[in-house]
């Protein structure tokens, strides 16, 4: 059916004068959650159902502000659809802590903008994607999110705010999932569930989970998301042989291609708690990656991986091999383990790292040595970086500034859509940061703007600065 619909879409484009198929604009004029409506006007539930029934691309707009409290899951989006809200904080789709808010079918091209999705939840008993994607699940669709807030959504297993993955349609045609986030806020979402059963419990992506597919994240804040799971939720027995994993408080990436630009990943965490005979692993407070991730002009700060009572913690900021890190700042992240800990800032290594700060991160362990306060791993290609502490890291070049204080100011509003960390002096009389004008003086392929975007040139002064911000 999906292929037939796509063929119809092509015919609409090439034979528009003779086709009976017409795009329609549906209007949401009430905040209720019934199926009430007539023709092209009604509730959101009615408008999505009508758009699904009308072949070809359609759009939905709102002429109301406020909160729509869902009484059940909204209809699955099966066709190409654009949903435009009145403003990110002017309209809230509220899942009441019981219902997933949006589900996108394979092959559907969907644009959503200017509203909030809150309190969605993906239970383990759902028939499609059980426990995956509390706010949004994108199964093989092409999703564009612009000025969307995902706030306080949850998932039993993975992707509290958003779950993105390739999927097959009913005819076994494979569709690659694509998700683009522009000027979004992914905040206070969570994934995972406590367990008291034997075996293995894997919990992933408090904010976002991209399990295959492609994702592009730009000018977006991913903050305050978490996985907090307890292997001793009920009985307190010490002989259940439970293995609990928490992976990616902010983002979980598996077999996916992900680009992160001009964004902030901050104050996310993974925490596991278990009893003495069980094993727990907390990995990637900010990002857990076993895909291909490339990070530019971004800040990763204040994230934490923590294993309480037993087990290991790694990658307070990032866990997993990073293909490319450039013009970014990774600072004030932490990994705390009981039996083992590594990589306060980053764990597992980097292929290409340029003009970035990794400093002021911390690693500690209750019962064993801890490894790599800033980086635990090897950098294959490193130029013009500033590393606060090189213990348990290798692969640096003569252009890098090593084992020095970066002179970073606190995370704050320095302009642009996301918070960032300026370079000292932070107060009158402070010494200047050594990262100022310390980049490649002959750089030929610098980004146009720094983390803040338009109006904040990437090169200002004698040479390009190291880190996410260019001091003007």
235-294 pLDDT per residue, tens: 444 555 578 899 999 999 999 999 999 999 999 999 998 755 567 899 999 999 999 999
* Mean pLDDT confidence for 54-76: 96
Rounded CA separation 279/269 (Å): 18
Please indicate, yes or no, if residue 163 is contained in any of the structural domains. yes
Q: How many CB atoms lie within 10 A of CB 445?
A: 7
Establish if 253 belongs to a structural domain: yes
> Which of these ranges, 81-85, 94-98, 241-245, 290-294, has the smallest mean pLDDT?
241-245
Q: How many domains does the chain have?
A: 1
Whether this prediction's pTM lies above 0.85 is answered by yes
pLDDT of 12 above 60: no
pLDDT, averaged across the chain: 92
pLDDT tens for each residue of 221-231: 999 999 998 76
pLDDT at 19: 45
Q: Which DSSP helix (H) or strand (E) runs through 334?
A: strand 334-337
Q: What is the pLDDT of residue 309?
A: 80
Q: Average pLDDT, stretch 302-318?
A: 94
66 part of a folded domain: yes
Q: Over 90: is that where the pLDDT of 155 sits?
A: yes
- pLDDT at residue 5 greater than cutoff 80: no
pLDDT digits (tens, 9 = 90+) for 36-45: 999 999 999 9
For residue 353, is it within any domain? yes
pLDDT at 197: 62
Instruction: Supply the pLDDT for residue 234.
Output: 44
Is pLDDT at 14 greater than 50 in this prediction?
no
The pair of three-digit structure tokens given for residue 145, joined into one six-digit string: 């999110």
Tell me the pLDDT band of 199, cut-offs 50, 70 and 90. low
Segment 187-214 shows an average pLDDT of: 88
d(CA 252, CA 261): 17
> Which tokens belong to 119?
């309190």
Cβ–Cβ under 8 Å, residues 334 and 285: yes
In a domain, 318, yes or no: yes
Q: What is the pLDDT of residue 198?
A: 60
Burial 14-47 (b: 16+ CB within 10 A, else e): eeeeeeeeeebebbbebbebeeebeebbbbbbbb
Domain range spanning residue 82?
21-232+240-415
Asked whether residue 427 carries a pLDDT value surpassing 60, the answer given is yes
* pLDDT greater than 50 at residue 425: yes
Query: pLDDT value at position 206?
Result: 98
> Would 297 be classed as within a structural domain?
yes
With respect to residue 424, please indicate whether it lies within any of the assigned structural domains: no
Mean pLDDT of 355-377: 96
Is the link from the previous residue into 332 a cis peptide, with omega within 30 of 0?
no
The tokens for 189 are 């979402």
On whether residue 444 sits in a domain, the answer given is: no
Res 218 pLDDT > 50:
yes
């Amino acid at each position: 059916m999906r292929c037939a619909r796509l063929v119809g879409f092509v015919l609409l484009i090439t034979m528009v004068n003779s086709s009976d198929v017409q795009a329609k604009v549906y209007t949401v004029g009430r905040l209720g959650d019934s199926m009430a409506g007539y023709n092209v006007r009604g509730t959101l539930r009615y408008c999505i159902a009508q758009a699904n029934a009308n072949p070809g691309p359609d759009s939905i707009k709102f002429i109301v502000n406020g909160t729509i409290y869902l009484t059940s899951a909204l209809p699955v989006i099966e066709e190409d659809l654009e949903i435009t809200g009145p403003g990110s904080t002017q309209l809230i789709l509220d899942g009441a802590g019981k219902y997933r808010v949006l589900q996108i079918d394979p092959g559907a091209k969907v644009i959503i903008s200017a509203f909030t999705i809150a309190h969605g939840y993906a239970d383990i008993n759902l028939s499609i994607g059980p426990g995956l994607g509390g706010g949004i699940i994108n199964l093989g669709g092409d999703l564009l999110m612009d000025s969307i807030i995902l706030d306080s959504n949850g998932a039993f297993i993975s992707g509290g705010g958003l779950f993105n993955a390739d999927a097959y349609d009913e005819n076994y045609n494979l569709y690659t999932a694509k998700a683009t986030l522009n000027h979004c806020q992914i905040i206070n979402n969570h994934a995972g569930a406590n367990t008291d059963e034997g075996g293995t419990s894997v919990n992933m992506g408090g904010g976002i989970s991209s399990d295959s597919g492609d994702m592009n994240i730009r000018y977006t804040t991913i903050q305050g998301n978490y996985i907090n799971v307890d292997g001793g939720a009920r009985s307190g027995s010490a002989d259940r042989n439970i293995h609990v994993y928490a992976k990616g408080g902010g983002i979980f990436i598996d077999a996916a291609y992900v680009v992160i630009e001009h964004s902030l990943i901050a104050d996310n965490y993974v925490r596991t708690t278990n009893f003495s005979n069980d094993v727990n692993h907390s990995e990637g407070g900010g990002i857990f990656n076993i895909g291909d991730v490339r990070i530019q002009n971004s800040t990763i700060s204040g994230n934490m991986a923590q294993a309480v009572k037993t087990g290991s913690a790694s990658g307070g900021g990032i866990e997993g091999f990073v293909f490319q890190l450039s013009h970014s700042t990774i600072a004030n992240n932490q990994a705390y383990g009981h039996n083992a800990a590594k990589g306060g800032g980053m764990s597992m290594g980097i292929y290409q790292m340029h003009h970035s700060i990794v400093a002021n991160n911390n690693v500690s362990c209750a019962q064993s040595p801890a490894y790599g306060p800033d980086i635990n791993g090897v950098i294959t290609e490193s130029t013009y970086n500033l590393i606060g502490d090189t213990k348990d890291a290798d692969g640096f070049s003569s252009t890098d500034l090593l084992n020095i204080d970066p002179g970073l100011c606190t995370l704050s509003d320095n302009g642009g859509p996301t918070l960032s960390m300026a370079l000292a002096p932070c107060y009158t009389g402070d010494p200047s940061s050594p990262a100022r004008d310390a980049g490649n003086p002959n750089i030929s392929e610098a980004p146009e703007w720094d983390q803040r975007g338009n109006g904040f040139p990437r090169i200002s002064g004698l040479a390009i600065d190291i880190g996410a911000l260019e001091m003007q």
